[in-house]
Structure 1
Amino acid sequence: MDGKKPYVMAVVIQVIYTGLYVVSKAAFDQGMNTFVFIFYRQAAATLLLLPLAIILERRNAPPMSLRLFTKLFMYALLGNTISMNVYNISLKYTSATVGSATSNSVPVVTFFLAVLLRLEVIRLRTLSGMAKAAGVALCLGGVLVIALYAGPAISPLNHHRAFTNEAASRGGGGGGRTRWVKGTFLMLLSNTAWSLWIVLQASLLKEYPNKLLATLLQCALSTLQSLLLAAAVVRADAAAWRLRLDAGLLAVAYTGFVVTGVSFYLQAWCIEKKGPVFLAMSNPLCFVLTIFCSSFFLGEIVHLGSILGGILLVAGLYSVLWGKSKEHNMQLTLAAAATVQVKQQQDDSADNKMDIAADEDEKQQKLASPEQQV
């Protein structure tokens, strides 16, 4: 049973993220302001993480300098405030299916940014290098297909949906093709900002190694940033800030506590047990689940273009992951060969020393033999 636990947890994670796309889309379709939503989501996440940090890490807090605080502020602005707000606007323009499909581009975009920052290398003359380059191209192709090609519509599975709103049934966020195209590219922009944040976290955690406190501080800073941004956009509209017993309140509670609290822990556990590639390999399951759930609960009309684009994005994801896996295995093989070679050289050196010592003993015996004969 222990061997199956990572697979079960991976499925649970994808189910949680399916709920994220569906519930968030339902909240926006029912009129919840996207900027206010992010403020409440980040505030809920901060309230969840704060007691955990106090209980578990109050004695392990690394020293905080002005330079480090500024870096945390900028990373929170990029990876939380900007990325999430742009993503929610794009989700309002498109559909839950598109949100789930484009999430498969995150590992590919992260790899591409790592190449630009010279943290990764593409060797086009190798099979793994060609696979990684093909993955980037497939990812871009998938985004273009989703944005520019609608195709035939697939009728919703359930016409009596749980979250009723006419915008959802149009499959384009209720704003026509221009809004759909804009939303798709905004979603890619959001994923790019998130991917850049992922790349930058590696250097941040070397400087500030406490993961829980780093996450808490970025959530708290993002809450303040989101509050100021929402206040600037919404201004005096008090109704936009009011939470009701509807999909908006459900979305805030779900994203703040379940996504941030439960899924983040499960992801860390899966990565520790099986590595990041294993978790990324399960992402397409969320895409399939979201197609069915958005159609059933939201009544979304899924277009063929969204499915084809999602398939290209999944293919791009697997191509990059396969190339990285192939390259990693090659590095392990070379390292093992180098270790064997070093060991062989050490053994040869030890044998040579033993031979030299034996020769010296033999010479000593020959020199000593005439005296013994006398």
Structure 2
Amino acid sequence: MAEQSNCAALSLVLIKIRPYLAMVSLQFGYAGMYIITMLSFKSGMSHWVLVVYRHLVAAIAIAPFALVFERKIRPKLTLSVFIKVMLLGLLEPVIDQNLYYVGMTYTSATFTAAMVNALPALTFVMAIAFRMERVNLKQKHGLAKVIGTCITLCGAMVMTLYKGPIVNMFGSHQVNLHSSSSASAGAQQHWVAGTVMLLFSVIGWSAFFIVQSITLKEYPAELSLTALICVMGTVEGGIVALIMERNNMSAWIVGFDSRLFAAVYSGIVCSGIAYYVQGFVNKIRGPVFVTAFSPLSMIITAILGAIVLGELLHLGTLIGAIIVVTGLYSVVWGKSKDENLVTEKGKAMELPEVWEDVSRPGNFVDDVINGHPGKPNFAVKHLHPEEP
């Protein structure tokens, strides 16, 4: 009995921390994508084409699992759901990722990851606007979510607006993706444009989580929805890529190099697996919880960027990282208190049970036929709140 109770307690703990482990693991996947895609761009990969190949790979990888594991629970694809899938395919695969990649080529992998730190704040505001998130400023956990979101946004702004002196933590040399001084000067001229594109990219990503949360209520099949989004992203992204690369059809040719690896890695890890995991966590914890962990990818990316790409770490990045992590802790703490309150309310609303004699008194013949002569038949009755 003791072993069974310990196993049950361990299972409950694993179930409780599963969303946290899933979201933290995804940040490592995103950090790897930042580095790999930057290397593929150095090899001449077109980001318009990368978006198409990425979602084509994701659709091929996820569709078989969706067909097998959700064949009995998959709802009908109504016109309403199809329109939402089209919108999801436009928001994240097309708008978010293309603007994201353009912004990253104009800035750097570390700066791009830093800009993504605005994602929790924007998603929080959108969730409140769509009444997916409730905030009571008279309660500590409600205040913690608001303050934490503001702190996270402040940290992102510090990383964006303040560079500060170089911090050579990993022996990084002043080597960047822009090898010549003239290229560096050109990059500085495009820094503002890159920042604006990254901002609109984050807005599209936030909207994606909101629409995904709404769609999952109508179409509660995470794998199937993920496959549909990837297919729609391939189609819509393909149309955009054909227009943007109409004079450069050689951009569609990839070999066994970093360009192919970037398409496969980002497709399987950052589209297929990520859409499914985010959908699963979004369904049980909401869009604010999903996006609250995105700042962690910046810290991982900054370390990998300094080691792999030779990008320089600035003091502003480190200060912003500390501020962001502080805000993240505040938001997650507030969300955990929300979950506890929901659980307590659920227990309080459970109806009490009483045992009521439902046998018909004096009907001895029926009692004998039922095999319980002289014994009353009891059944569970749930008392309603107005009943004594």
Q: TM-score range by the shorter chain?
A: 0.7 to 0.9
- Asked whether the 8 Å contact 1:157–1:299 carries over to 2, the reply is no
Does residue 144 in structure 1 map to residue 192 in structure 2? no
- Asked whether the 8 Å contact 1:156–1:300 carries over to 2, the reply is no
* TM-superposed deviation, 1:261: 4.4
> Among 32, 54, 58, which residue is 1:45 paired with?
58
Cα distance 1:94–1:276, how it changes in 2: closer, same or farther (>3 A)? same
Cα distance 1:314–1:185, how it changes in 2: closer, same or farther (>3 A)? farther
SS at match of 2:255: coil
Does residue 293 in structure 1 map to residue 284 in structure 2? no
Which deviates the most, 248-257 or 64-73?
64-73
* TM-superposed deviation, 1:222: 1.0
Once residues 65 and 55 of structure 2 are traced to their aligned partners in structure 1, the CA distance between those partners, rounded to angstroms, is 16
* TM-superposed deviation, 1:185: 3.8
Partner of 2:198: 187
1:262-287 CA distance string (max 9 Å, x none): 55566678889999998777655533
1:206-265 CA distance string (max 9 Å, x none): 222222221111111110111111111111212322213332222111111233445556
Partner of 2:109: 96
Does residue 112 in structure 1 map to residue 142 in structure 2? no
> Among 199, 207, 212, which residue is 2:218 paired with?
207
Q: Could you tell me which amino acid in structure 2 is paired with residue 149 of structure 1?
A: Y
1:38-84 CA distance string (max 9 Å, x none): 01111111111222233334455432333332222122111321111
> Among 308, 332, 335, which residue is 1:324 paired with?
335
- Asked whether the 8 Å contact 2:144–2:334 carries over to 1, the reply is yes
Once residues 168 and 11 of structure 1 are traced to their aligned partners in structure 2, the CA distance between those partners, rounded to angstroms, is 34
- Asked whether the 8 Å contact 1:105–1:313 carries over to 2, the reply is no
- Asked whether the 8 Å contact 1:169–1:301 carries over to 2, the reply is no
Once residues 309 and 95 of structure 2 are traced to their aligned partners in structure 1, the CA distance between those partners, rounded to angstroms, is 27
Partner of 1:362: none
SS at match of 1:47: helix
Partner of 2:31: 18
Once residues 159 and 271 of structure 1 are traced to their aligned partners in structure 2, the CA distance between those partners, rounded to angstroms, is 38
SS at match of 1:300: coil
- Asked whether the 8 Å contact 2:99–2:198 carries over to 1, the reply is yes
Cα distance 1:114–1:258, how it changes in 2: closer, same or farther (>3 A)? closer
Q: Could you tell me which amino acid in structure 2 is paired with residue 69 of structure 1?
A: F
Once residues 68 and 273 of structure 1 are traced to their aligned partners in structure 2, the CA distance between those partners, rounded to angstroms, is 20
State the TM-score, normalizing by the size of structure 1.
0.76
Which deviates the most, 59-68 or 76-85?
59-68
Does residue 222 in structure 1 map to residue 228 in structure 2? no
State the TM-score, normalizing by the size of structure 2.
0.74
Q: Could you tell me which amino acid in structure 2 is paired with residue 320 of structure 1?
A: V
Partner of 1:122: 135
Once residues 120 and 256 of structure 1 are traced to their aligned partners in structure 2, the CA distance between those partners, rounded to angstroms, is 31
Cα distance 1:204–1:311, how it changes in 2: closer, same or farther (>3 A)? same
Which deviates the most, 175-184 or 211-220?
175-184
* TM-superposed deviation, 1:17: 2.2
* TM-superposed deviation, 1:114: 0.8
* TM-superposed deviation, 1:310: 3.2
Q: Could you tell me which amino acid in structure 2 is paired with residue 218 of structure 1?
A: I
SS at match of 1:255: helix
Once residues 128 and 9 of structure 1 are traced to their aligned partners in structure 2, the CA distance between those partners, rounded to angstroms, is 23
- Asked whether the 8 Å contact 1:42–1:223 carries over to 2, the reply is yes
SS at match of 1:120: coil
Cα distance 1:48–1:160, how it changes in 2: closer, same or farther (>3 A)? farther
Cα distance 1:120–1:263, how it changes in 2: closer, same or farther (>3 A)? closer
Which deviates the most, 326-335 or 193-202?
326-335
Q: Could you tell me which amino acid in structure 1 is paired with residue 335 of structure 2?
A: K
- Asked whether the 8 Å contact 1:141–1:312 carries over to 2, the reply is yes
Unaligned regions of 5+ residues in structure 2, if any? 1-9, 357-388
* TM-superposed deviation, 1:169: 9.5
Choose between structure 1 and 2: higher helix proportion.
Answer: 1
Once residues 273 and 209 of structure 1 are traced to their aligned partners in structure 2, the CA distance between those partners, rounded to angstroms, is 11
* TM-superposed deviation, 1:94: 2.2
Once residues 70 and 200 of structure 1 are traced to their aligned partners in structure 2, the CA distance between those partners, rounded to angstroms, is 11
Does residue 56 in structure 1 map to residue 69 in structure 2? yes
- Asked whether the 8 Å contact 2:120–2:288 carries over to 1, the reply is no
What's the Cα RMSD here?
Answer: 3.8
- Asked whether the 8 Å contact 2:295–2:325 carries over to 1, the reply is yes
Once residues 232 and 20 of structure 1 are traced to their aligned partners in structure 2, the CA distance between those partners, rounded to angstroms, is 25
> Among 62, 81, 94, which residue is 1:81 paired with?
94
- Asked whether the 8 Å contact 2:213–2:286 carries over to 1, the reply is no
Once residues 180 and 299 of structure 2 are traced to their aligned partners in structure 1, the CA distance between those partners, rounded to angstroms, is 19
Q: Could you tell me which amino acid in structure 2 is paired with residue 87 of structure 1?
A: Y
- Asked whether the 8 Å contact 2:141–2:334 carries over to 1, the reply is yes
Partner of 1:31: 44
> Among 244, 247, 251, which residue is 2:258 paired with?
247
Number of corresponding residues? 341
Cα distance 1:124–1:169, how it changes in 2: closer, same or farther (>3 A)? farther
Cα distance 1:168–1:228, how it changes in 2: closer, same or farther (>3 A)? farther
